[in-house]
């Protein structure tokens, strides 16, 4: 059972456009929701994260929107650039205990020049 569902699987955007990636979760015990960026041959790197007591968090061109009642959250990349081309993973964890990350399956983003 996929605890964190991510869509779309792939996304092509023109330079300057907005990239939107969506995730939905099942487990209401999740209380921390990070997004990771992964380039080919590299490990995932934390991009931005949000806690469920906040509905939106913005860092530069990256924004997370969070809808607790719908158990959904999304990543928006404004003014997308070719350098943003990578695979993006949403994740979730429960604080306390082992705090292991549960990942979505990833979205491969391609930003065309």
Partner 1 sequence: NAGVMQNPRHLVRRRGQEARLRCSPMKGHSHVYWYRQLPEEGLKFMVYLQKENIIDESGMPKERFSAEFPKEGPSILRIQQVVRGDSAAYFCASRNELGGLRAFFGQGTRLTVV
Burial of residue 77, with CB atoms counted within 10 A of its CB: 0-12 exposed, 13-18 middle, 19 or more buried: buried
- Is residue 34 within the footprint of partner 1 (CB under 8 A)? yes
Q: How far apart are CA 83 and CA 5, in angstroms?
A: 25
- Is residue 103 within the footprint of partner 1 (CB under 8 A)? yes
- Is residue 46 within the footprint of partner 1 (CB under 8 A)? yes
C-alpha 88: how far from chain center:
6
- Is residue 42 within the footprint of partner 1 (CB under 8 A)? yes
- Is residue 48 within the footprint of partner 1 (CB under 8 A)? no
Q: In the bound complex, what is the minimum distance in angstroms from residue 44's beta carbon to partner 1?
A: 5
The one segment of 14-22, 35-43, 56-64, 71-79 that binds partner 1 by CB under 8 A = 35-43
Q: Which is nearer to partner 1, 17 or 26 (CB)?
A: 26
Phi first, then psi, for residue 16 (nearest 5°) are: 90, -10
Q: How far apart are CA 40 and CA 28, in angstroms?
A: 32
Residues in a beta bridge with 11 = 109
- Contacting residues toward partner 1, per CB under 8 A: 4, 6, 32, 34, 36, 41-46, 49, 89, 93, 95, 97-106
């Amino acid at each position: 059972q996929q605890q964190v569902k991510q869509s779309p699987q792939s996304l092509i955007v023109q330079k300057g456009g907005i990239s939107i990636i969506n995730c939905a979760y099942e487990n209401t015990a999740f209380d921390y929701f990070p997004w990771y960026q992964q380039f080919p041959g590299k490990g995932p790197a934390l991009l931005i994260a949000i806690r469920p007591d906040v509905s939106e968090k913005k860092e530069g061109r990256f924004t997370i929107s969070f809808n607790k009642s719908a158990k959904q959250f999304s990543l928006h990349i404004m003014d997308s650039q070719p350098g943003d081309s990578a695979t993006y993973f949403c994740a979730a964890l429960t604080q306390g205990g082992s705090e292991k990350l549960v990942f979505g399956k990833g979205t491969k983003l391609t930003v065309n020049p």
